[in-house]
Amino acid sequence: MADRYKTGEQAPEAGTYEFDGLVDGRKKDNVTEDEKHIELSNGDTFPPLRSSKEAAYWKKA
């Protein structure tokens, strides 16, 4: 399984990361295509999901 990163953690490397579920264990069916992928630089903080502001897991795309 790929490494997962949680909202609030820092990105280990620059690149594209994709949404991999909510921290509370739910998968969000209504996550928009626009927010499924984020671009981060090395050291950037993983954000919450934009639409709901909920803590999320991210993985390297």
Q: Quote the pLDDT of residue 38.
A: 97
Task: Single out the residue of 45, 25, 22 nearest to residue 36, CA to CA.
Answer: 22
Residues with Cβ within 8 Å of residue 47, at least 6 apart in sequence: 7, 38, 56
Q: Quote the pLDDT of residue 60.
A: 96
pTM: 0.87
Q: How far apart are the first and last CA of the chain?
A: 13
Q: 1-60: per-residue pLDDT in tens?
A: 459 999 999 999 999 999 999 998 877 667 888 999 999 999 999 999 998 899 999 999
Q: Quote the pLDDT of residue 5.
A: 97
Strands 37-40 and 4-6: unpaired
Q: Quote the pLDDT of residue 1.
A: 45
